[in-house]
Amino acid sequence: GENVEQHPSTLSVQEGDSAVIKCTYSDSASNYFPWYKQELGKRPQLIIDIRSNVGEKKDQRIAVTLNKTAKHFSLHITETQPEDSAVYFCAASIGYGQNFVFGPGTRLSVLP
Amino acid sequence: NAGVTQTPKFQVLKTGQSMTLQCAQDMNHEYMSWYRQDPGMGLRLIHYSVGAGITDQGEVPNGYNVSRSTTEDFPLRLLSAAPSQTSVYFCASNRRGGATDTQYFGPGTRLTVL
């Protein structure tokens, strides 16, 4: 079955710096890769996603890149702000795309 | 739209008790799923449903039952609670379409089994 690894598990950056979180997946049939942000005590919220026919997608300060050959995808956050502090999860679709396997999460701390 | 709703928000059980976690969505989504979230382990799929009357097991199904009698509701039943089932439970739903669609999560239920 699909296995998703995520690195690093914790990440601290200074406000204004960039943050990069990387995920790898094992199933070449996976074709949809969402990223979720989860604040303490809250539900996961989708922040950006990418489909397998696209190599890169950007939404303001957030971007995601996908390398299907290498089976890895990355989240890039530029000009980080304290409100970016949260746990970030990557995920990969499985089956017919109705379900997902999640990475273990990255705790991002943005230091003022 | 209320989106995905879950009840209760918090629950404390004793070992051996049974209970049902409720989940409902008003977006007419075909797909619904239950996940558990444990510290440092991300979200793990318990059971899922691709439509009313159809359910299947996920990664960690033991000790849980589900049913899907309507499109809107997808309850999760704990048959005989164990301390290992202490976790935060999230219900999620997404639409079935030609391409995979966004998965929306409920607010979660924090369950403690003593």
pLDDT of residue B98: 42
Tell me the average pLDDT across A101-109.
Answer: 95
User: B52: closest CA among B36, B34, B29?
Assistant: B29
Q: Map residue B36 onto helix, strand or coil.
A: strand
Computed over every residue of chain B, the mean pLDDT equals 92
User: B99: closest CA among A112, A53, A76?
Assistant: A53
Tell me the average pLDDT across A90-105.
Answer: 84
pLDDT of residue B99: 46
- For residue range B93-106, what is the model confidence (pLDDT) as tens digits? 988 754 456 788 99
User: A8: closest CA among A112, A104, A110?
Assistant: A104
C-beta atoms of A34 and B106 within 8 A: no
Q: In Å, how far is B8's CA from the nearest CA of chain A?
A: 15
Tell me the average pLDDT across B67-81.
Answer: 96
Structure tokens at A10: 């914790």
In Å, the largest CA–CA distance within chain A is 43
Tell me the average pLDDT across B19-35.
Answer: 94
Handedness of CA A83, A88, A92, A95 (dihedral sign): negative
- B80 confidence band (pLDDT: 50, 70, 90): very high
- A81 confidence band (pLDDT: 50, 70, 90): very high
- For residue range A10-68, what is the model confidence (pLDDT) as tens digits? 999 999 999 999 999 998 888 899 999 999 999 999 999 998 888 999 999 999 999 99
Burial class (CB in 10 A: 0-12, 13-18, 19+), B16: exposed
In one letter, which amino acid is B56?
A: D
A8 touches chain B (CB under 8 A): no
- B41 confidence band (pLDDT: 50, 70, 90): confident
Structure tokens at A112: 């003022």
Contacts with B, A 10-29, CB within 8 Å: none
C-beta atoms of B102 and A101 within 8 A: no
Tell me the average pLDDT across B51-58.
Answer: 92
Q: Which of A43, A49, A102, A107 to mutate to test the interface with B (most CBs of B within 10 A)?
A: A43
- Angle ∠(A101,A105,A108) on CA atoms, nearest 5: 150
